[in-house]
Amino acid sequence: MVFRIWALFLIMFSASSNAQALELGDSIPDFVMASENGAPKRLSEHVGKPVMLIWLDDCDGCAERLIQWQYLAESRAVDGLVTWVIWQPEEGYQAPWSRLPILRYESTNKESWLFRPNPAVMLISPNGTLDHIFLQDLDERRSEIAGVLNDWLQKKQWLQEGIK
């Protein structure tokens, strides 16, 4: 019995560690998620464009937290940046309002995945690889992230590496 519990624990641990196994330079797995404020979005349909994913943590109508991110994203849209916010609803939670697409993660959706730990910000190059990831204290680190985002979009590092 104890062995079974340990085996179950190990399986659960390995499954959760797989979910966190993304590293810089990895190809981001595709997903499609329903949107709170528009049509569903599929990541693979945006190959060829730089993408910023903002993974929210616990958020019940947290619109004010998104305002500065929205301004940042909109100011870089001219560089072709596509920005999506990913929100995981809990019982009784209200979706945050934003002009950015708010994608809803649902565990029943087999074609989606949830990144943990969150909150997190990912910068995904047009060839679909993870170029930068920021974890923890995102609101405090917004200016740092904005700087990295600026350099990343200006240098267009993916052009030097070649889009695979």
**Which residues lie near other proteins (CB under 8 A)?**
32-35, 39-42, 45, 108-109, 111
In this complex, which beta carbon is closest to other proteins, that of residue 104 or of residue 156?
A: 104
**Side chain identity, residue 65:** R
Residue closer to other proteins by CB (options 103, 145) is 103
Contacts of 94 (CB under 8 A, 6+ apart): 60, 61
CB atoms within 10 A of CB 11: 10
How many residues appear in the chain? 164
Q: Which is nearer to other proteins, 41 or 76 (CB)?
A: 41
Closest distance of CB 45 from other proteins, Å: 5
Taking alpha carbons only, the member of 68, 75, 107, 70 closest to residue 85 is 70
C-alpha distances (whole Å) from 47 to each of 26, 81, 115, 130, 142 are 15, 12, 20, 12, 25
At closest approach, how far in Å is the CB of 34 from other proteins?
6
* Three-class DSSP category at 157: helix
Nearer to other proteins, 104 or 132 (CB): 104
Minimum Å distance from CB 40 to other proteins? 4
From the CB of 37, what's the least distance to other proteins, in Å?
Answer: 11
